[in-house]
Chains A and B, each alone.
Chain A
Amino acid sequence: MNGIHDLGGMHGMGPIAPEPNEPVFHEEWERRMFGLFITIFAGGHFNVDEFRHAIERMDPADYLESPYYEHWLHSAETLLIEKGVLSRKELEERKARLAREAS
Protein backbone atom coordinates (compact mmCIF):
# COMPACT_ATOMS: atom_id res chain seq x y z
CA MET A 1 0.00 0.00 0.00
CA ASN A 2 1.56 3.29 -1.09
CA GLY A 3 0.16 5.54 1.62
CA ILE A 4 1.45 8.37 3.77
CA HIS A 5 3.25 5.90 6.05
CA ASP A 6 5.58 4.96 3.17
CA LEU A 7 7.93 7.83 3.96
CA GLY A 8 11.23 6.50 2.61
CA GLY A 9 12.84 9.05 0.28
CA MET A 10 10.17 11.73 0.73
CA HIS A 11 11.49 15.32 0.67
CA GLY A 12 10.74 18.34 2.81
CA MET A 13 10.11 16.73 6.21
CA GLY A 14 12.56 19.05 7.98
CA PRO A 15 15.38 18.50 10.47
CA ILE A 16 15.50 15.42 12.72
CA ALA A 17 15.97 17.23 16.06
CA PRO A 18 16.85 14.43 18.51
CA GLU A 19 15.93 15.27 22.11
CA PRO A 20 18.82 14.92 24.60
CA ASN A 21 18.09 12.58 27.54
CA GLU A 22 14.68 11.80 26.15
CA PRO A 23 12.34 10.02 28.60
CA VAL A 24 10.76 6.70 27.54
CA PHE A 25 7.34 8.38 27.61
CA HIS A 26 6.53 12.09 27.44
CA GLU A 27 2.96 12.05 28.81
CA GLU A 28 1.04 9.88 31.24
CA TRP A 29 -1.44 8.92 28.49
CA GLU A 30 1.43 7.61 26.33
CA ARG A 31 2.52 5.40 29.21
CA ARG A 32 -1.03 4.00 29.63
CA MET A 33 -1.51 3.58 25.87
CA PHE A 34 1.68 1.55 25.60
CA GLY A 35 0.63 -0.77 28.44
CA LEU A 36 -2.86 -1.10 26.99
CA PHE A 37 -1.51 -2.07 23.59
CA ILE A 38 0.73 -4.81 25.03
CA THR A 39 -2.12 -6.18 27.13
CA ILE A 40 -4.77 -6.31 24.40
CA PHE A 41 -2.22 -7.55 21.87
CA ALA A 42 -1.29 -10.39 24.25
CA GLY A 43 -5.01 -11.04 24.66
CA GLY A 44 -5.14 -11.96 20.98
CA HIS A 45 -7.63 -9.29 19.89
CA PHE A 46 -5.58 -8.49 16.78
CA ASN A 47 -2.21 -9.30 15.24
CA VAL A 48 0.63 -6.91 14.47
CA ASP A 49 -0.20 -6.68 10.75
CA GLU A 50 -3.80 -5.68 11.49
CA PHE A 51 -2.50 -3.16 14.00
CA ARG A 52 -0.17 -1.52 11.50
CA HIS A 53 -2.75 -1.63 8.73
CA ALA A 54 -5.21 0.25 10.93
CA ILE A 55 -2.53 2.93 11.43
CA GLU A 56 -1.94 3.05 7.69
CA ARG A 57 -5.66 3.65 7.18
CA MET A 58 -5.46 6.90 9.18
CA ASP A 59 -6.28 10.19 7.50
CA PRO A 60 -2.90 11.23 5.95
CA ALA A 61 -2.92 14.72 7.50
CA ASP A 62 -3.77 13.30 10.94
CA TYR A 63 -1.04 10.71 10.50
CA LEU A 64 1.64 13.35 10.00
CA GLU A 65 0.39 15.75 12.65
CA SER A 66 -0.46 13.47 15.56
CA PRO A 67 2.03 12.18 18.14
CA TYR A 68 3.21 8.58 17.73
CA TYR A 69 1.17 6.94 20.48
CA GLU A 70 -1.96 8.58 19.12
CA HIS A 71 -1.46 6.30 16.10
CA TRP A 72 -1.62 3.38 18.51
CA LEU A 73 -4.74 4.76 20.13
CA HIS A 74 -6.41 5.23 16.75
CA SER A 75 -5.50 1.68 15.71
CA ALA A 76 -6.62 0.08 18.98
CA GLU A 77 -9.99 1.93 18.90
CA THR A 78 -10.52 1.08 15.22
CA LEU A 79 -9.78 -2.64 15.58
CA LEU A 80 -11.65 -3.16 18.85
CA ILE A 81 -14.73 -1.51 17.30
CA GLU A 82 -14.40 -3.49 14.04
CA LYS A 83 -14.09 -6.73 15.99
CA GLY A 84 -17.08 -5.91 18.17
CA VAL A 85 -15.16 -5.80 21.47
CA LEU A 86 -16.59 -2.35 22.14
CA SER A 87 -18.54 0.31 20.28
CA ARG A 88 -17.89 3.90 19.23
CA LYS A 89 -20.91 4.91 21.33
CA GLU A 90 -19.49 3.27 24.47
CA LEU A 91 -16.17 5.05 23.95
CA GLU A 92 -17.83 8.44 23.41
CA GLU A 93 -20.08 8.07 26.44
CA ARG A 94 -17.24 6.96 28.70
CA LYS A 95 -15.06 9.82 27.47
CA ALA A 96 -17.83 12.37 28.18
CA ARG A 97 -18.34 10.93 31.67
CA LEU A 98 -14.63 11.04 32.46
CA ALA A 99 -14.45 14.64 31.21
CA ARG A 100 -17.33 15.62 33.53
CA GLU A 101 -15.69 13.87 36.47
CA ALA A 102 -12.36 15.55 35.80
CA SER A 103 -13.78 19.07 35.65
Chain B
Amino acid sequence: MAHEGHNAPLSDTALRVKALESLLVEKGLVDPRALDAIIDAYETKIGPHNGARVVARAWVDPEYKRRLLRDATAAIAELGYTGVQGEDMVVVENTPEIHNMVVCTLCSCYPWPTLGLPPNWYKSAPYRSRAVSDPRGVLREFGVSLPEDVQVRVWDSNAELRYLVLPMRPEGTEGMSEEQLASLVTRDSMIGTGLAKTPEKRAA
Protein backbone atom coordinates (compact mmCIF):
# COMPACT_ATOMS: atom_id res chain seq x y z
CA MET B 1 0.00 0.00 0.00
CA ALA B 2 2.91 2.36 -0.70
CA HIS B 3 1.10 5.30 -2.21
CA GLU B 4 3.94 7.63 -1.40
CA GLY B 5 6.77 6.99 -3.84
CA HIS B 6 10.39 6.94 -2.74
CA ASN B 7 11.02 10.33 -4.26
CA ALA B 8 8.16 11.98 -2.35
CA PRO B 9 9.38 13.03 1.11
CA LEU B 10 7.02 12.11 3.93
CA SER B 11 5.22 15.01 5.57
CA ASP B 12 5.81 15.71 9.24
CA THR B 13 2.35 14.34 10.00
CA ALA B 14 2.98 11.14 8.02
CA LEU B 15 6.22 10.65 9.95
CA ARG B 16 4.45 11.11 13.28
CA VAL B 17 1.89 8.45 12.33
CA LYS B 18 4.65 6.09 11.19
CA ALA B 19 6.54 6.64 14.44
CA LEU B 20 3.41 5.95 16.49
CA GLU B 21 2.61 2.76 14.57
CA SER B 22 6.20 1.58 14.71
CA LEU B 23 6.41 2.02 18.50
CA LEU B 24 3.02 0.42 19.17
CA VAL B 25 3.91 -2.58 16.98
CA GLU B 26 7.26 -2.91 18.79
CA LYS B 27 5.48 -2.87 22.17
CA GLY B 28 3.13 -5.58 20.96
CA LEU B 29 0.07 -3.34 21.27
CA VAL B 30 -0.78 -3.28 17.57
CA ASP B 31 -0.77 -6.06 14.99
CA PRO B 32 -0.14 -4.51 11.56
CA ARG B 33 -2.20 -7.22 9.85
CA ALA B 34 -5.21 -6.49 12.07
CA LEU B 35 -4.78 -2.86 11.13
CA ASP B 36 -4.80 -3.73 7.40
CA ALA B 37 -8.00 -5.75 7.87
CA ILE B 38 -9.74 -2.87 9.66
CA ILE B 39 -8.76 -0.38 6.97
CA ASP B 40 -9.93 -2.74 4.23
CA ALA B 41 -13.32 -3.23 5.91
CA TYR B 42 -13.98 0.52 6.01
CA GLU B 43 -12.76 1.05 2.44
CA THR B 44 -14.66 -1.80 0.82
CA LYS B 45 -17.39 -3.32 3.01
CA ILE B 46 -18.82 -0.67 5.31
CA GLY B 47 -20.35 2.26 3.47
CA PRO B 48 -23.56 4.01 2.37
CA HIS B 49 -24.64 0.94 0.36
CA ASN B 50 -25.52 -0.58 3.76
CA GLY B 51 -27.78 2.31 4.72
CA ALA B 52 -29.32 2.22 1.23
CA ARG B 53 -30.48 -1.35 1.90
CA VAL B 54 -32.12 -0.24 5.15
CA VAL B 55 -33.95 2.58 3.37
CA ALA B 56 -35.07 0.38 0.45
CA ARG B 57 -36.41 -2.24 2.88
CA ALA B 58 -38.37 0.47 4.71
CA TRP B 59 -39.82 1.68 1.40
CA VAL B 60 -41.16 -1.76 0.42
CA ASP B 61 -42.05 -3.21 3.84
CA PRO B 62 -44.37 -1.09 6.03
CA GLU B 63 -43.89 -3.42 9.00
CA TYR B 64 -40.11 -3.05 8.76
CA LYS B 65 -40.49 0.73 8.52
CA ARG B 66 -42.58 0.76 11.68
CA ARG B 67 -39.90 -1.21 13.49
CA LEU B 68 -37.18 1.04 12.08
CA LEU B 69 -38.84 4.21 13.32
CA ARG B 70 -39.59 2.68 16.72
CA ASP B 71 -36.23 1.00 17.44
CA ALA B 72 -33.74 1.79 14.71
CA THR B 73 -30.79 -0.01 16.29
CA ALA B 74 -32.67 -3.34 16.37
CA ALA B 75 -34.23 -2.94 12.92
CA ILE B 76 -30.88 -2.07 11.35
CA ALA B 77 -29.31 -5.07 13.11
CA GLU B 78 -31.89 -7.30 11.38
CA LEU B 79 -30.00 -6.60 8.15
CA GLY B 80 -26.69 -7.36 9.84
CA TYR B 81 -25.42 -3.82 10.37
CA THR B 82 -24.11 -3.43 13.90
CA GLY B 83 -20.96 -2.24 15.62
CA VAL B 84 -18.87 0.75 16.51
CA GLN B 85 -20.64 4.10 16.20
CA GLY B 86 -23.97 2.47 15.46
CA GLU B 87 -24.78 1.27 18.97
CA ASP B 88 -27.70 3.66 19.44
CA MET B 89 -29.46 4.68 16.26
CA VAL B 90 -32.44 6.91 15.58
CA VAL B 91 -34.05 7.07 12.15
CA VAL B 92 -35.94 10.24 11.25
CA GLU B 93 -38.45 10.15 8.40
CA ASN B 94 -38.76 12.76 5.67
CA THR B 95 -42.33 13.55 4.63
CA PRO B 96 -43.89 16.12 2.29
CA GLU B 97 -44.12 18.40 5.37
CA ILE B 98 -40.83 17.71 7.16
CA HIS B 99 -37.23 17.50 5.94
CA ASN B 100 -34.58 16.17 8.33
CA MET B 101 -30.86 16.92 8.23
CA VAL B 102 -28.06 15.57 10.44
CA VAL B 103 -24.92 17.29 11.73
CA CYS B 104 -22.39 16.85 14.52
CA THR B 105 -21.61 20.41 15.59
CA LEU B 106 -19.03 19.32 18.18
CA CYS B 107 -17.01 16.86 16.13
CA SER B 108 -17.78 14.12 13.62
CA CYS B 109 -20.34 11.68 15.08
CA TYR B 110 -21.80 9.65 12.23
CA PRO B 111 -23.47 6.23 11.89
CA TRP B 112 -20.54 4.11 10.68
CA PRO B 113 -22.27 0.73 10.21
CA THR B 114 -24.86 2.22 7.84
CA LEU B 115 -22.94 5.08 6.17
CA GLY B 116 -19.26 4.22 6.60
CA LEU B 117 -16.82 6.98 7.50
CA PRO B 118 -18.00 10.57 7.03
CA PRO B 119 -16.88 12.72 4.10
CA ASN B 120 -14.56 15.63 4.88
CA TRP B 121 -17.24 18.29 4.47
CA TYR B 122 -19.33 16.67 7.22
CA LYS B 123 -16.41 17.09 9.65
CA SER B 124 -15.53 20.59 8.44
CA ALA B 125 -16.06 23.91 10.21
CA PRO B 126 -18.29 25.37 7.46
CA TYR B 127 -20.88 22.57 7.63
CA ARG B 128 -20.80 22.16 11.40
CA SER B 129 -21.16 25.88 12.05
CA ARG B 130 -23.90 26.62 9.53
CA ALA B 131 -26.09 23.48 9.50
CA VAL B 132 -27.78 24.64 12.70
CA SER B 133 -28.10 28.36 11.93
CA ASP B 134 -28.83 28.36 8.19
CA PRO B 135 -29.96 24.87 7.15
CA ARG B 136 -31.82 26.11 4.06
CA GLY B 137 -28.72 27.95 2.88
CA VAL B 138 -26.67 24.80 3.41
CA LEU B 139 -29.23 22.76 1.47
CA ARG B 140 -29.05 25.24 -1.41
CA GLU B 141 -25.27 24.71 -1.52
CA PHE B 142 -26.01 21.02 -2.01
CA GLY B 143 -28.45 21.88 -4.80
CA VAL B 144 -31.55 21.18 -2.74
CA SER B 145 -34.24 23.85 -2.54
CA LEU B 146 -37.27 22.99 -0.49
CA PRO B 147 -40.64 24.73 -0.66
CA GLU B 148 -40.96 27.37 2.09
CA ASP B 149 -43.78 25.47 3.79
CA VAL B 150 -41.59 22.41 4.36
CA GLN B 151 -40.29 22.40 7.92
CA VAL B 152 -36.56 21.69 8.26
CA ARG B 153 -35.46 19.77 11.37
CA VAL B 154 -31.75 19.60 12.17
CA TRP B 155 -30.49 16.79 14.42
CA ASP B 156 -27.22 17.29 16.27
CA SER B 157 -25.52 13.90 16.72
CA ASN B 158 -23.44 13.03 19.71
CA ALA B 159 -21.16 10.29 20.91
CA GLU B 160 -24.10 8.32 22.31
CA LEU B 161 -26.73 8.78 19.60
CA ARG B 162 -26.48 8.68 15.78
CA TYR B 163 -29.15 9.70 13.31
CA LEU B 164 -30.02 8.36 9.87
CA VAL B 165 -32.50 10.11 7.60
CA LEU B 166 -35.15 8.01 5.87
CA PRO B 167 -35.56 9.93 2.61
CA MET B 168 -38.85 10.03 0.73
CA ARG B 169 -39.36 7.36 -1.91
CA PRO B 170 -39.19 9.09 -5.30
CA GLU B 171 -42.20 9.20 -7.62
CA GLY B 172 -42.31 6.74 -10.49
CA THR B 173 -40.66 3.90 -8.59
CA GLU B 174 -43.72 1.66 -8.27
CA GLY B 175 -42.86 -1.90 -9.18
CA MET B 176 -39.13 -1.45 -8.71
CA SER B 177 -37.32 -4.20 -6.81
CA GLU B 178 -35.75 -3.56 -3.42
CA GLU B 179 -32.32 -3.76 -5.03
CA GLN B 180 -33.22 -1.25 -7.74
CA LEU B 181 -34.65 1.06 -5.09
CA ALA B 182 -31.44 0.83 -3.02
CA SER B 183 -29.49 2.17 -6.00
CA LEU B 184 -31.52 5.41 -5.78
CA VAL B 185 -30.51 6.03 -2.17
CA THR B 186 -27.47 8.31 -1.94
CA ARG B 187 -25.24 8.95 1.07
CA ASP B 188 -26.35 12.59 1.14
CA SER B 189 -30.04 11.61 1.10
CA MET B 190 -29.42 9.70 4.35
CA ILE B 191 -27.59 12.68 5.92
CA GLY B 192 -30.38 14.94 4.70
CA THR B 193 -28.23 17.16 2.49
CA GLY B 194 -29.71 15.47 -0.57
CA LEU B 195 -32.79 13.67 -1.84
CA ALA B 196 -33.07 10.15 -3.21
CA LYS B 197 -32.41 9.96 -6.96
CA THR B 198 -35.32 9.68 -9.36
CA PRO B 199 -35.37 6.63 -11.70
CA GLU B 200 -34.43 8.86 -14.67
CA LYS B 201 -31.32 10.13 -12.86
CA ARG B 202 -30.32 6.59 -12.01
CA ALA B 203 -30.49 5.58 -15.68
CA ALA B 204 -28.51 8.65 -16.77
Contact = CB atoms under 8 A, between A and B. Distances in A.
Contacts of A43: 29-30
A27 B116 CA distance: 17
B18 interface: yes
A7 B107 CA distance: 9
Contacts of A95: 15-16, 18-19
B124 A16 contact: yes
A9 B36 contact: no
Nearest to B121: A18
Given A7-B128, A80-B20, 17 more contacts: A6-B105, A8-B131, A9-B105, A13-B126, A17-B126, A24-B42, A27-B14, A29-B18, A36-B20, A38-B84, A39-B29, A52-B106, A55-B107, A73-B16, A86-B24, A91-B20, A95-B19
Nearest to A74: B16
Interface residues of A, number: 54
A31 B20 contact: no
Contacts of A19: 119-121
A36 B35 contact: yes
B55 to A, nearest CB: 20
A43 B2 CA distance: 27
Interface string B15-39: 1111111111001011100111011
Contact of B129 (A9, A76, A77): A9
Interface residues of B, number: 58
Interface in B1-15: 1-4, 9-11, 13-15
Contact of A49 (B105, B120, B159): B159
Nearest to A77: B20
A76 B27 CA distance: 15
B40 to A, nearest CB: 9
Contacts of B197: none
A61 interface: no
B38 A99 contact: no
B133 A94 contact: no
3 closest residue pairs by CB, A with B:
A8-B105, A35-B35, A29-B14
A16 B19 contact: no
Interface string A4-46: 0111111101111111001011111101111110111001010
Contacts of A11: 129, 133
Contact of B13 (A14, A34, A73): A73
